[in-house]
């Protein structure tokens, strides 16, 4: 048994859960926050048999899109006043960040 942890963008989350459920995978959704952008994202936990991991990854890959986000970064003004001006920086986010963990025991009571 494996636990697939997929961090995805909020905009892709509902489509992805629907697609995974349609293909027979069980999913738990967590509302999470990215440490860098400090904005919301979604973490999905999907418990599957070892042989199904590549199927899960394929679904995530098909649904989750790469997007560009513009974030303001504080930059010192060059005239020596010590003032900070927001300077826009572009970062690419997604499609998805995926961790695959071994599960020692799966117990359903």
Query: Where does this chain bind ligand 2BA (CB under 6 A)?
Result: 7, 34-37, 41, 91-94, 97
Rounded CA separation 96/92 (Å): 11
CB nearer ligand 2BA, residue 8 or residue 17: 8
Taking CB atoms, the residue at the shortest distance from ligand 2BA is 34
CB nearer ligand 2BA, residue 6 or residue 17: 6
CA proximity to 12, closest of 98, 71, 100: 98
CB nearer ligand 2BA, residue 39 or residue 49: 39
Alpha helix segments (H runs only) across the chain: 10-22, 53-63
Q: How far is the CB of 35 from ligand 2BA (least distance, A)?
A: 4
CB nearer ligand 2BA, residue 1 or residue 37: 37
Q: Three-state DSSP class for 56?
A: helix
Q: How far is the CB of 11 from ligand 2BA (least distance, A)?
A: 13
Q: How far is CA 78 from CA 6, 75, 81, 88, 101, in A?
A: 42, 9, 8, 16, 48
């Amino acid at each position: 048994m494996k636990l697939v942890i997929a961090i995805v963008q909020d905009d892709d989350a509902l489509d992805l859960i629907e697609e995974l459920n349609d293909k027979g995978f069980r999913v738990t959704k967590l509302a999470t926050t990215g440490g860098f952008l400090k904005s919301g994202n979604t973490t999905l936990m999907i418990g599957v048999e070892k042989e199904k991991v590549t199927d899960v990854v394929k679904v995530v890959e098909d649904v989750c899109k790469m997007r560009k986000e513009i974030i303001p970064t504080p930059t010192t003004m060059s005239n020596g006043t010590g003032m900070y001006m927001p300077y826009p920086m572009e970062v690419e986010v997604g499609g998805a960040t995926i961790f695959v963990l071994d599960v020692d025991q799966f117990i359903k009571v």
